[in-house]
A and B are shown apart, each in its own frame.
Chain A
């Protein structure tokens, strides 16, 4: 049976907060990570089973912090997202992958920019983790000095980006 994608009014936005991930196979769901700065957003989507997931990771890896949540870190969050998607019915060989975030919010501040290059490290770790899992190279928009909101529309498999003062656009 072929179903039509949901209309705009039917979309159900699910916010993915700091250190969280969400998986969905509900066509009306939109997974959203609002205002990613140095954090990264990793999306994986199976266009056949219409199962998708979004990870909103904060730091590259756990270096001994008491914060144990694996989705908090890129290094552990990326494999977690993949495994959960497979559990939910996605096929890893069909996955489409997007990567965004990793901005250097203090990039215009000479005294602080180099000290706090967490965005750059997050993005690098995400690329390393994805490659290590033999996933396809992601569609990516990373770095820069501005925040981004990323959305995944489960019903259509469309990913979008929005930056401050600009309209939402296809990613």
Chain B
């Protein structure tokens, strides 16, 4: 029987993941800075473990309209990342990263989807690569998938690929993207593969302080 994440999620691992998440998100912010020429920084990520079944309620209910950016790594590590944003907040984030006004009533066009996909790509790839390096397992990240739908339907992607284990936990990373005069909160839901966490432990990565 697979071990649920909280069992393995000690302070050391929490610290390690926090560093990786922070670096991944900072990396994404730097990437966008280069593209838009405006300073963009990120707040220190807040992390906590929550049961998957609680996620819809934390996001306003399963029928709430949201944007999900999904990445999956395959290979030695089966790791998933979902960035979920409130629909209106997603537009604020798009405005921030492309530097032009956008309105939710106009819908999420190709440009907006690309910008959000790239945000997921930059953040997730860095995170996944760091996980791969630490565990010694191979990880091949997928291209990002951008979904605009109800929170419940977006979450089905994670639930179904997680073997339907709704009692299991996901790692929530809350971060704020900050530009000159505005701040946009974003939540990342990271679904670690217990096998990868076991690989960390086997390699002693956690004990060496890497």
Contact = CB atoms under 8 A, between A and B. Distances in A.
Chain A complexes with chain B: yes
Interface of A: 15, 17-19, 34-39, 58-59, 65-67, 72-73, 103, 105-106, 108-112, 115-116, 118-119, 146-149, 162, 164-165
Nearest to A117: B160
5 contacts: A65-B163, A109-B145, A116-B157, A146-B149, A164-B65
Contacts, number: 116
Secondary structure dominating the interface of B: mixed
Given A108-B145, A147-B156, A149-B63, A118 B161 contact: yes
Nearest to A19: B166
B94 to A, nearest CB: 18
Interface of B: 1-2, 53, 56, 61-63, 65, 70, 72, 142-145, 147-157, 159-161, 163-167
A34 B150 contact: yes
B110 to A, nearest CB: 11
A18 B142 contact: no
A106 B147 contact: yes
A167 to B, nearest CB: 13
Nearest to B143: A111
Contact of B56 (A35, A106, A119): A35
A115 B154 CA distance: 16
Given A111-B142, A164-B65, A147 B164 contact: no
Secondary structure dominating the interface of A: loop
Given A66-B2, A67-B164, A165 B65 contact: yes
Contact of A38 (B65, B142, B150, B156): B156
A116 B153 CA distance: 14
Nearest to B147: A105
B2 A103 contact: no
A14 to B, nearest CB: 14
A35 B151 contact: yes
B61 to A, nearest CB: 7
Nearest to A59: B164
A29 B106 CA distance: 37
Contact of B149 (A35, A72, A118): A35
A147 B145 contact: no
A36 B149 CA distance: 10
Given A73-B164, A103-B156, A164-B150, 20 more contacts: A34-B56, A34-B150, A35-B62, A35-B152, A35-B156, A36-B153, A37-B150, A37-B152, A37-B155, A37-B157, A38-B156, A67-B165, A72-B164, A105-B147, A111-B142, A111-B143, A112-B142, A116-B157, A147-B153, A149-B63
